[in-house]
Amino acid sequence: MPVIEINNLSYVYNAGTLNEKRALDNITLSVEKGEFLGIVGANGSGKSTLIQHFNGLLLPSSGSIFVLGHDTRDKQYRSQLWKSVGLVFQFPEQQIFEATVYDELAYGLRNIGLGQPEIEVRVKEALENVGLIPEEQFLNTEPLCLSGGMRRRIAIASILAMKPDILVLDEPTAGLDPEGYAHILDTIKRCRKNQDVTVVMVSHYINDLLILSDRLVLLDDGCLQIWGPTREVLASADVKDYDLLFPDYIKLLHNLKKQGFQVNTGVLTLEEAVDEIDRLLEGE
């Protein structure tokens, strides 16, 4: 059963003015319950605009979007949607404002109206989920004293604590050093294991998404170009048109295939690519 259904969605910024810009053009797409969907596209391709439709922050200029079975144009429904769709913005550490880590994580929970005992349990759980353990050590820390990577994990935890049905992440690894990057990826992998949660993750570079995504969406200039199971998308020949989005080992396989060699281009990791080349060299 799809949890998000998008039909012919278009979105226009500054409609009717000189700066009018069509950010999304006739997008049709659905997200299944429990799946991990990766959305990839260059900067300015409309990724962020698309996901802000998921929790009703933006409404389609034309077309429709149904989230968890309801139209987001319904104002009553939309105003409660944040409880079930957790949206992690790009550079989410910028939104931190409470004086302690505990309060920061409890902010959304208090807005939901949960009681103190439940909040405490969830805060600890969320901290554990992002790998900030032992939790007690962090609860009363001032977020501003922590490193950028840790602040980002706290911001993500503040959304995880709300236990959304759909978790949406906008470029969660952008601008991090390798260590911070690895921690965020671990957190996302943990989320992926939980079959009840649907995860949508956006990135300008497909690398992070390859091993995680069940399906991939490729956006280019506001249009949906490719949508399908990850391996099929990678195997398809269109990849070469989006040179900068794909890692070089996949490009290498595509290049070899173009030269007439029998290569399976549907690989996800570097190791798989090496095995494929190994097989090719062996076979000759």
Partner 1 sequence: MKKMKLGSYTPGTSLIHQLDPRTKLLSGLVVIIVILVDNSWPVLVLNTVLIFLVLYLSKISPKSVLHGVKWLWIIFAASFIAHCVCTQGEPWFSLGPLVVSKEGISRGLATFLRLLILYLCSTILTMTTSPMKLAGGLEALFAPLIYLRVPVNQFAMLITIALRFIPTLIEEAETITKAQKSRGAPFASPKKMVRLKTTLAVLIPLVVSSLQRATDLAVAMESRCYTGGPHHSRTKNLCFGRYDLVALAVTVVICISGTIVG
Partner 2 sequence: MVVIKKDDFISMQGIQLSNVTKEYFNSQNDKFCALKAVNLAIKFGEFVGIAGENGSGKTTLARLLNGLLLPSAGRVTVNGMDTRQRRVIKEIRRLVGMVFQNPDNQLVSPVVEEEIAFGPENLNLPRQEVNKRVEKALQIVGLENLRQKSPHMLSGGQKQRVAIAAALAMQPDYLVLDEPTSMLDQTGRRRILEHLRKLNRKHGITIILISHNMEDLIGADRIIMLHQGRIAGDGTPWKIFQRDDHTVALKPPNIVRMAQILRKRGYRLDQQITTLEQMENGICRLLKSTT
Interface with partner 2 by CB under 8 A: which residues? 42-44, 147, 149, 174-175, 177-180, 204-205, 244-245, 247-249, 251-252, 255-256, 259, 261, 270-271, 273-274, 277-278, 280-281, 284
Cα radius of gyration (the chain) = 20
Rank residues 106 and 245 by Cβ distance to partner 1 and give the closer one.
106
Residue 107: contacted member of partner 1, partner 2, none (CB under 5 to 8 Å, by partner type)? partner 1
Q: Let me know the angle formed at the C-alpha of 270 by 269 and 274, rounded to the nearest 5 degrees.
A: 120
Strands 62-67, 36-40: pairing kind: unpaired
**C-alpha–C-alpha distance, residues 106 and 131, integer Å:** 17
Q: What is the dihedral of CA 87, 91, 97, 102, to 10 degrees?
A: 70
Among partner 1, partner 2, none, partner that 162 touches (CB below 5 to 8 angstroms by kind): partner 1
Nearer to partner 1, 150 or 162 (CB): 162
Q: Which residues contact 92 (CB under 8 A, 6 or more apart)?
A: 152, 155, 156, 159, 172
Contact set with partner 1 (CB under 8 A):
13-14, 17-19, 52, 55, 57, 82-83, 86-87, 89, 92, 94-97, 107-108, 111-112, 144, 158-159, 162
Yes or no: say if 117 and 197 are a contact pair by the CB < 8 Å rule: no
Residue type, 82: W
3-state class (DSSP) for residue 108: helix
Say which entry of partner 1, partner 2, none residue 55 contacts (CB below 5 to 8 A, set by partner kind).
Answer: partner 1
- Least CB distance to partner 2 at residue 224 (A): 19
- Among partner 2, partner 1, none, partner that 204 touches (CB below 5 to 8 angstroms by kind): partner 2
- Between 82 and 246, name the residue whose CB sits nearer to partner 2: 246
Cβ-based nearer residue to partner 1, 6 or 155: 155
DSSP state of 95: G
Size of the chain, expressed as the number of residues it contains: 284
Nearer to partner 2, 74 or 275 (CB): 275
